[in-house]
Amino acid sequence: MGGNGPGTGRPVGVAVVGFGWMGTVHARAHARVGHHFPGLPVVPRLVAVADDVPGRAEAAAAGYGFATATTDWRAVLADPRVELVSVTAPNWLHREIGVAVAGSGRHLWIEKPVGLTADDARAVAGAAAAAGVQGVVGLSYRNVPAVALAREMVAAGEIGRVTHARVAFLSDYAAAPEGALTWRYERARGGSGVLADLGSHAVDLVRHLLGDEVESVLADTAVFVPLRPRPAGPTSGHALAAGGVPGPVENDDHVAALLRLSSGARVALEASRVAAGEQNAYGFEVHGSAGRLAWDFRRMGELQVSRGPLAQDQPVATVLVGPGAGEYAAFQPGPGNPMGFDDLKVVEARDALLAAATGEPHGATLADAVRAADVLDAIAESAARGERVAVPADRAVPVGGTPDP
């Protein structure tokens, strides 16, 4: 069977539900995890793959070494060999599949945003808590070594007290009006649009990087491409469908929000899927009373640092992160050697395997997904009402443990 990395750990049967692009990323991560983290107490075995597009699961089994393939994800949960399930299906299926996986006693590695609403995320977290299983969530950008270094510097007070920050996730994957009207643009299946797709990452970075909770939000959203052509058949990724019958876009292309944090810090958050000329322009600037940190995903191994005794006219240095920052050492021997997006998913695969092996939370948890979803719901409500909205702070998050510090 596939997914066998080096090591002598106990084999853990792995299934992947949904085999679009993200499903392939999960499969590759499982295959590589043993090479980068050879001391794991468990090793993955690719047991089953499920996808409802005809022929896709069979092709995945042939290409990646899954032992079985099916069009029905429920069959995966009837397979006694499966202990850990990667859920990479579309957003509207997250709640149903996530609750079922947890209820069957399997651990799960599930992609963000874990459903369409905070209630969906909370339902999956509750099912996992009731079953005593762990859930790791695909909030990938917190795994970047430069982000890990920035988080340490913020926590250590190296830029003083955080006063304000900007977090932006801009992309042009939907900028073309000929982009196919897939499930991503439907309210019932794609939820809040770019808010769930990219905003979920942005909100998680705010919480993870600054170690702070969002207390209230003031937001505005917009749909800039109101009509898109319907695709003639199954699509993958962000395909074009020029000439198709036009249909309405039901969720947002752009969101801008002003966040107030519990510390008193302010954050300007922006996400767009129609930002022409921007490809994965994801990053942040954090300003403190004694300095500044900045990071751009497109230069993933670099952290911009400004700090020192001067309150103004500070110089800015570019730090090339290396071993000692996050999990960099598992991938490269020294600064300047680039990592890529798939490497971040290998770190998540490691976290999912450790969670399955130990029964303890590792990495981004379902609690993190719930907290982020609470903020996303508040942003959507603020945009609809045209006023500042408080983020609920007293709603229980049912999980079986606490996130890593």
Instruction: Report how far apart, in Å, the C-alpha atoms of 79 and of each of 55, 222, 353 are.
Output: 20, 45, 18
Domain CATH code at residue 189: 3.30.360.10
Q: End-to-end alpha-carbon separation of the chain, Å?
A: 35
Q: Is residue 113 part of a domain?
A: no
Q: Is residue 64 part of a domain?
A: no
Within 10 angstroms of residue 187's Cβ, the number of other Cβ atoms is: 15
pLDDT at residue number 393: 83
Asked if residue 48 lies in contact with residue 76, where contact means CB atoms within 8 angstroms, the answer is: yes
pLDDT at residue number 135: 98
3-state secondary structure of 6: coil
Q: Is residue 8 part of a domain?
A: no
Q: What is the DSSP string of 32-55?
A: HHHHH-TT-SEEEEEEEEE-SSTT
Asked if residue 355 lies in contact with residue 107, where contact means CB atoms within 8 angstroms, the answer is: yes
Q: Is residue 217 part of a domain?
A: yes
Per-residue pLDDT 10s for the chain (405 aa) are: 344 445 578 999 999 999 999 999 999 999 999 999 999 999 999 999 999 999 999 999 999 999 999 999 999 999 999 999 999 999 999 999 999 999 999 999 999 999 999 999 999 999 999 999 999 999 999 999 999 999 999 999 999 999 999 999 999 999 999 999 999 999 999 999 999 999 999 999 999 999 999 999 999 999 999 999 998 766 666 778 877 899 999 999 999 999 999 999 999 999 999 999 999 999 999 999 999 999 999 999 999 999 988 878 999 999 999 999 999 999 999 999 999 999 999 999 999 999 999 999 999 999 999 999 999 999 999 999 999 999 998 665 554 433 333
* Tally of domains within the chain: 1
pLDDT at residue number 190: 93
Which residues have a Cβ under 8 Å from the Cβ of 175 and sit 6 or more positions away?
225, 273, 274, 275, 276
Q: Is residue 189 part of a domain?
A: yes
Could you list the residue range(s) of the whole structural domain that residue 163 is in? 147-336+371-376
